[in-house]
Structure 1
Amino acid sequence: MGEAEQMWELRLYIAGKTPKSISALSNLTKYCEEHLKGKYKIEIIDLLLQPQLAEGDQIFAVPTLVRKVPVPIRKIIGDLSNEEKVLVGLNIIPLKKS
């Protein structure tokens, strides 16, 4: 399976439906639809409901986005409002050379 067909597995950790969590999910969904259409899965983990899951990915703040696949695992903390930071952080687009 080549790089182009790679399925992206993303996990968004939140703690309840806070404005930051809602914003993070809507930002993430928008970026994925623009750049990874048909090639991504978003799993949402609410740590208020499943606090034990924070340990597995070493989550210390919410919202936190974890890219499980493709490896290596990458993490981004916050509401994901800076599109370029998110896309570069997830390695969806390379950092622009100035």
Structure 2
Amino acid sequence: MDKKVQNKLEEFEKALTAEKKGEKYVLRLFVAGINPKSRKAIENLNKILEENLKDQYELEIIDIYQQPIFAKEGQIVAAPTLIKELPPPLRRFVGDLSNKERILLGLHLKKGDNGDND
């Protein structure tokens, strides 16, 4: 196994172990440069996370113009895109993240009308 894959595997296993202890959400926000839509998505996400997951998340912001390989690896076809990697299940959100209710439901931080989080 090549070193890059091994490092990613170790990072994932470490995050999964932390998740089982209820420690962290692992999130990646992919943006396409610093434009108004990207700024709005970052602002909206930071507000949601600070209000609902204070100190319980890791957020990585990736500019796909600066690091296009990450867009390919993450299969990003639109930006901004938020990916919740942990805790499972994996979730994707596309857009400026202004629909707070949808984000909270997708992150499993709020129950839906049917009593389920999905």
Q: If the length of structure 1 is used for normalisation, what is the TM-score?
A: 0.90
1:76 aligns with 2:90: no
Q: Residues 6-85 of structure 1: matches in 2 within 5 Å?
A: 6-85=23-102
CA distance in 2, matches of 1:29, 1:3: 24
Structure showing greater radius of gyration is 2
**CA distance in structure 1 between the partners assigned to 2:85 and 2:105 by the alignment:** 16
- Amino acid paired to 1:53: F
Q: Structure 1 or 2: larger strand share?
A: 1
Amino acid at match of 2:88: V
Counterpart-to-counterpart distance in 1, 2:68 and 2:19: 36
Identity of aligned residues (%): 43
| Structure 1 stretches of 4+ moved >2 Å | 1-6
Indicate if the aligned counterparts of 1:6 and 1:70 stay in contact, CA closer than 8 A.
no
Q: State the Cα distance separating 1:90 from its structure 2 match.
A: 2.0
Task: Please give the root-mean-square deviation of Cα atoms over the aligned residues, in Å.
Answer: 1.8
Partners of 1:92 and 1:5 lie apart in 2 by: 13
Unaligned runs of 5+ in 1: none
Q: Deviations over 1:8-50 (max 9, x none)?
A: 0110000100111100011101001111011011100000000
Pair 1:85–1:91, CA change in 2 (3 A): same
The DSSP-based 3-state class of the residue aligned with 1:32 is helix
TM-score of the two chains, using structure 2 as the length reference: 0.76
**Does residue 102 of structure 2 align to residue 94 of structure 1?**
no
1:82 and 1:2, CA in 2 relative to 1: closer, same or farther beyond 3 A?
A: closer
